[in-house]
Structure 1
């Protein structure tokens, strides 16, 4: 059983190690913190923490570092609940308000969160598996070029540039657009391919070639927007903190790049129930990421919940990072509601 002072010693070890990246000894704790006891007493407290596997010696020095278990206790019970500064709050609001569309907003969100935390920032696109097509817009942008704009009922807009074999008149383009919308408007994204399969039966022969190209493009647009996707920024931060990892960081970078593991973790952590869920080290359950911590929270888009988070070494500033994740998620939800 760890005493109250022992817990405060653990808090001191975590905060000092996160700050310095150096193992923490009893003398430095006495010098830096006001415990009012001798270094020998602190050493006894540290011995008990080590017995509980909350701290460990990385080598033969007298200093100790937190274990995954120690970080977990710190996050659950010892981390101070912090608020972001007013300066950060204004910066977040202004930066996100300048976004032009949904994709830019998510891109700005991860760049901002990465800059605030110096970690890898990740945002998950809202799941559009249940979304329906609101409208398809065909816009002429050149003699043989048309912009295919797919708009869903939850406000998602996807644009693709299409090259046709001949130039269409405004009347022909309007006719083709009307035919396409008569088939797909109100259709779920999963049913777009089947709905467009009937398009050729109702199209003029001289528009058949253009219709075929646009059909393939719209099917691809619908399919891409049904898939789960992540946007990330700050992967280079892992390289800059390479001293925090034992061995090669390339398996970690590969796991991040593939996204499959992260998508699975986001799904699992979404059911945690915490405002900010944190998975530490071996808790993650993926060997490539067992020297990292992942924290996530939810944001809302058109009534649908999705996930925002960050990934970094277990030696991270949990209190400030949790505050940043929570604040950015709130502003992202607000920006989406305003849009």
Structure 2
């Protein structure tokens, strides 16, 4: 978890210049020089004074010069100080919040609510919206049936938690008779009934790895068929995170490098690092901000992540947030993430 920096002996004048420089860089995406700052109506220092202060801030590690003759841009340390000490959080438009709230209050399933929230984050920030799917309680295996279809396909009817029914079609390597399918169903129902699916998968994996020579053909076919169905985990890491708006990030110049985009989109595709990061800060209260290397995962250093937990019945059940360049409008992103988490939690409480 990123922690707020210790208070540094930075004069108020230097803090004012640092805040204005970062705000201008976030707005323009271009290095900011002393002349640009001196022309702002909100500052009364001369260009020479500003230039000297910018040099001091660079020596302290808050700014850097991308080119010798260019202006300055903030470093990750500069962004961290800005976020912790200087950012002025804006107020969101009330009508926009009300429209989003109305969308959440529509007749949506919990899964649809999560996708709506991720879409909202993406659309409002023009970045990538992310949200973790609440982990389900243990799924208990109750009953299974196999029904032969054409073209070496089998319809599987799986019942869990005494009432939840899933229908799946699996592809097998040969045609099975009705008697074989009944035998397989009877075996699976007898051996695994009442077990949670995690334990079922572990047991099947062990049996699949045992010497096939110790099994007769029919038993081997049964284990293979059970493995087709029950070794498929519907709650994988890829399914545990919803990501919307990845392509928005291609519009930012600092993220337009081909190799950087490839790394970023690989992260979105795998989702493992995003999931681990969000789960690691699930105990945090309010909005958390990770800048560059602070993520501790394989997320590009050029990116920041703003996250917040969402609740149901008073308990934190997931995290949501926004991924974008370090040059993001934190003053606007922070309240968007905060409001979205609160409205999503409120909507889930009514389901």
Q: Could you tell me how far apart the structure 2 residues matched to 1:265 and 1:289 are? A: 13
Corresponding position: 1:296 with 2:304: no
The match for 1:230 among 233, 241, 251 is 241
Alignment CA distance shift 1:55-1:245 (3 Å): farther
Alignment CA distance shift 1:241-1:226 (3 Å): closer
Checking the alignment, whether the CA contact within 8 Å between 1:149 and 1:159 is kept in structure 2 is: yes
Counterpart residue number, 1:67: 75
Alignment CA distance shift 1:71-1:189 (3 Å): same
Q: Could you tell me how far apart the structure 2 residues matched to 1:158 and 1:236 are? A: 36
Counterpart residue number, 1:119: 127
Checking the alignment, whether the CA contact within 8 Å between 2:282 and 2:316 is kept in structure 1 is: no
Alignment CA distance shift 1:31-1:54 (3 Å): same
Checking the alignment, whether the CA contact within 8 Å between 1:184 and 1:192 is kept in structure 2 is: no
Checking the alignment, whether the CA contact within 8 Å between 1:279 and 1:295 is kept in structure 2 is: yes
Q: Could you tell me how far apart the structure 1 residues matched to 2:103 and 2:141 are? A: 29
Counterpart residue number, 1:171: none
Q: Which sections of structure 2, spanning at least 5 residues, go unmatched?
A: 1-8, 179-184, 205-221
Counterpart residue number, 1:261: 273
Q: Could you tell me how far apart the structure 1 residues matched to 2:66 and 2:88 are? A: 26
Deviations 1:161-213 (A, max 9, x none): 447999x9xxxxxxx9xx97xx757x5443455899xxxxxxxxxxxxxx999
Counterpart residue number, 1:326: 338
The match for 1:100 among 108, 118, 143 is 108
Alignment CA distance shift 1:227-1:246 (3 Å): closer
Corresponding position: 1:277 with 2:288: yes
Richer in helix (by share): 1
Q: Could you tell me how far apart the structure 2 residues matched to 1:136 and 1:29 are? A: 70
Q: Could you tell me how far apart the structure 2 residues matched to 1:126 and 1:86 are? A: 29
The match for 1:47 among 48, 55, 59 is 55
Counterpart residue number, 1:335: 347
The match for 1:4 among 2, 12, 26 is 12
- The 3-state SS of whatever aligns with 1:289 is coil
Q: Could you tell me how far apart the structure 2 residues matched to 1:216 and 1:134 are? A: 14
Q: TM-score, normalised by structure 2?
A: 0.74
Alignment CA distance shift 1:159-1:220 (3 Å): farther
Q: Could you tell me how far apart the structure 2 residues matched to 1:242 and 1:254 are? A: 19
Q: How many residues are treated as equivalent by the alignment?
A: 316
Deviations 1:114-158 (A, max 9, x none): 001111111111123x435498899xxx9x9979576769x9x78
Alignment CA distance shift 1:147-1:19 (3 Å): farther
CA positional deviation for 1:18: 0.5
CA positional deviation for 1:243: 3.6
Checking the alignment, whether the CA contact within 8 Å between 1:295 and 1:310 is kept in structure 2 is: yes
CA positional deviation for 1:220: 5.0
Counterpart residue number, 1:205: none
Checking the alignment, whether the CA contact within 8 Å between 2:267 and 2:298 is kept in structure 1 is: no
Deviates more, 1:316-325 or 1:35-44: 35-44
CA positional deviation for 1:98: 3.1
Q: Could you tell me how far apart the structure 1 residues matched to 2:252 and 2:49 are? A: 34
Checking the alignment, whether the CA contact within 8 Å between 2:310 and 2:341 is kept in structure 1 is: yes
CA positional deviation for 1:102: 2.3
Deviates more, 1:300-309 or 1:61-70: 300-309
- Mapping for residues 179-258 of structure 1, pairs under 5 Å: 188-191=196-199, 219=230, 223-225=233-235, 229-244=240-255, 248-249=259-260, 250-258=262-270
Corresponding position: 1:131 with 2:138: yes
